[in-house]
Each structure stands twice: as structure tokens, then as C-alpha cells.
Amino acid sequence: MDQKDRKILGYLQEDASLSLNDLAEKVDLSPSPCWKRVRKLEEDGVIRKRVALVDQDKLGLPLSVFVLLKTCNHNEEWLEHFADKASSFDEVVELYRMGGDWDYMMRVVVKNIHAYDQFYKKLIKTIPDLCNVSASFAMEQIKYTTALPL
Amino acid sequence: MDQKDRKILGYLQEDASLSLNDLAEKVDLSPSPCWKRVRKLEEDGVIRKRVALVDQDKLGLPLSVFVLLKTCNHNEEWLEHFADKASSFDEVVELYRMGGDWDYMMRVVVKNIHAYDQFYKKLIKTIPDLCNVSASFAMEQIKYTTALPL
DNA sequence: GGAAAAAAGAGAAAAATATTCTATAACAAG
DNA sequence: CTTGTTATAGAATATTTTTCTCTTTTTTCC
């Protein structure tokens, strides 16, 4: 991965609908070697996938809730079971195992506070041994990008 | 936006490299009406953009840090200035204004803890009047999807 | 330093895909 | 009904992606 690959990633991170010709031009290559690089980046898994980003508000799901969790149960099996179950909820768009005070944090996307409460009830029903659950509501999404710093 | 549009979004959220023929087949349409729907979704801004998702680990940026912030300065101007400045950092991939104990939360993508510290120093230098800054480190990213629930 | 091998690039041809166009079918309002 | 509107299908055209071949550049090793 050299500087040109990085440049390619930079552009495709921002706009994957860019045609190969345009991309090639931007990175100062002719289409064919540019295409080879793109394909290699895909094969190597550097480019994980191409996706369409959908507008949360326009879909009627303006609310992001950050949910912090503590478990009472610290064995391997529980962890795996939790990861599986929690990941399976479509509302959970991000899920992290954390260091520090809380064991897990997730971002949950819902219509409104009531919908969050429904999710909450579903969550604690599905996953036992949660010792502590705390929700923080995002008032405003100031920045959201999938583009990693290069 | 009817059920078919939703189905289209569902597929494109997962894989935007899907050809129009394949997509059309999946949603039970012929290519041309399917294409019209996709274009309308794009024009209406329901589909915000198409992007390539890059692997954090493969890029050498395995660490996500969640940074919580409190400001001492609660006037309109400060808020705007903060939003601008904080958004401008490439390491900041998500930024929310929060309800509750903390004013802001952001996810910062970096190489390692040392790189986070560098970022931290850059942050407090750039943005004055931060009363409190707290960082939580993600040990593991269990789920990360850009696909909103439909 | 220079020859051989390897890697990266250019340009054109072929294949696949997206886009437009036209005509037909379903649907809703008066 | 029937008129106007919207959605669809299928074919044509245009664009884009992918492959192929040949050339240039870079690297390696003597």
C-alpha cells in the first residue's frame, strides 16, 4: 500500500460511485492500473464493502441513543452469547466492548424515546444478567463519517 | 416511499456494488423502473451517498476512543465554533451533542493510545473553555454497521 | 554499472452495466 | 366510465468496467 493506494481509498471513502475513469484521473493513472489497484484493495479486504448511506431523518429514525451496560456475569460463554444476541438487533448499529467503568457501549437507532423504551424492554428480556443499563440521548448529530483518517 | 423502496434501500445499504439487474431481480422489478426508484431515492436525499468502507485494522488504526466533553461556555457562538473545529479533525469520525451529564461525545479513530494523547493535546490547544474531558477506550468493536433498521 | 527479472503502467478491445426512450399496463379522481 | 397520472416492461443507446497485450519503469543481483 503506497501513497497512490491511499489516495484511491481517500476518494472512494467519500464517493464510491466515482467512475474508474474519473478516479484514475484524480490519482494520475490510466484506468487499467487504477482498476488493478482497486481490485487488489478489495481482495485484500482493505476495502471491506461498498454501501449506500441512508439518511436517518428522512427514514424517520432521527434518534441515536448511547446505551452503557454492565454485566454481572463475567465468563467467556456469557460474553459470546451477549455479543451474538446484542448484534442481532437491527437497531444496534454499533457495539463496543469497553475498558473502564462500563463493560459495553452501543449506539441504538430509533424513531423516538418511546421506541427506545420498547427496545430497552426487548433487550433486558433477551439478555439476562445485566447489572446496570444507562442510556444517553444524542440531541444532535454534528458529524458522522465512515471515512477513516489517512 | 413504499415497501419496494424500502427493500431497495435494504439491499443497497448492505451492498451498493450490486448491479441494477441483480437488484431489480431481488425486488421483483425490471431494471428500468428499479433504476428510476434508485435515482429518486438519491435525488430525494434518502440515499445520501455511496461510499467504500475501509478496514480500520488493515489501515493500522485499530483503536476507537470515545471522548466525553463538558464546556464551561454555554453561548451560541461557542457551540458553533466548537462544532466547526471539532468536526474538522479527521480523527473525529462521529460527534454528538448530548443530553445529560456530558455536553458532547465523539468517537476518535487512532493508531494507539499514544496517538490518542497527541490528538488530545491538539484538541485542547485548538478548543478553549473545555471544562472536562474524559476518554473511554474501546477494547473490541463487536458490531459496526451503516445499515439503518428498516 | 548493467543485464535480467519483476512490477507497474498505457491504450485498445471486449464484456457488462447503467441510462434513456417508447410503448403499454395499472391506478385514482372526477 | 374515462381521463389524467403513475408505474412498469422491453429494447436501444451510452457509459463504464474488465480484460488483454504491449511498453515502460523499477528492483535485484552479479
pLDDT digits 0-9 by tens, A7-59: 999 999 999 999 999 999 999 999 999 999 999 999 999 999 999 999 999 99
Cβ separation of A47 and B52 shorter than 8 Å?
A: yes
Task: Indicate the pTM of the whole model.
Answer: 0.94
Between CA A6 and CA A14, with CA A8 as vertex, the angle to 5 degrees is: 105
Q: Are A111 and A63 in contact (CB under 8 A)?
A: yes
Q: Do A46 and B61 touch (CB under 8 A)?
A: no
Chain A residues inside the 8 Å CB shell of B55: 45-48
Q: Which pLDDT value is given to residue B36?
A: 95
Contact between the CB of B40 and strand D at under 7 Å = no
Residue B95: burial class (beta carbons within 10 Å; 0-12, 13-18, 19+): buried
**C-alpha cell belonging to residue A16:** 464510491
Q: Is the CB of A23 under 7 A from strand C?
A: no
* Residue type for position B50: R
Q: What residues of chain A lie within 8 A of the CB of B141, using their CB?
A: 94-96
Q: What is the pLDDT of residues B9-54, one digit of tens each?
A: 999 999 999 999 999 999 999 999 999 999 999 999 999 999 999 9
Residues A80-84 have a mean pLDDT of: 96
Percent of chain B whose pLDDT exceeds 90:
99
Domains of chain B: 3-43 (1.10.10.10), 63-137 (3.30.70.920)
Contacts with A118 from chain B: Cβ below 8 Å: none
A66 pLDDT tier (thresholds 50, 70, 90): very high
Compare all CA atoms of chain A with the CA of B57 and give the residue at the minimum distance. Answer: A46
**Residues 6 or more apart from B76 whose CB is under 8 A from it?**
none
Running DSSP on this structure, what letter comes out for residue B67? E
Task: Calculate mean pLDDT across residues A100-125.
Answer: 97
What are the tens digits of pLDDT across the range B60-93? Answer: 999 999 999 999 999 999 999 999 999 999 999 9
- What is the rounded average pLDDT for all residues in chain A? 97
| Predicted confidence (pLDDT) per residue in B103-134, tens digit | 999 999 999 999 999 999 999 999 989 999 99
The Cα angle at residue A105 between residues A99 and A106, in degrees rounded to 5: 155
pLDDT value of residue A115? 98
Shortest CB distance from B148 goes to which of A14, A45, A54?
A54
CA of A15 to C1' of D27 (A): 35
Spacing of C-alpha A95 from chain mean position: 8
Per-residue CB contacts under 7 A with strand C, chain B residues 29-58:
31-32, 35-36, 39
CB-nearest partner of B143 from A92, A143, A147: A92
**pLDDT band at B146, cuts 50/70/90?**
very high
pLDDT given for residue B48 in this prediction = 97
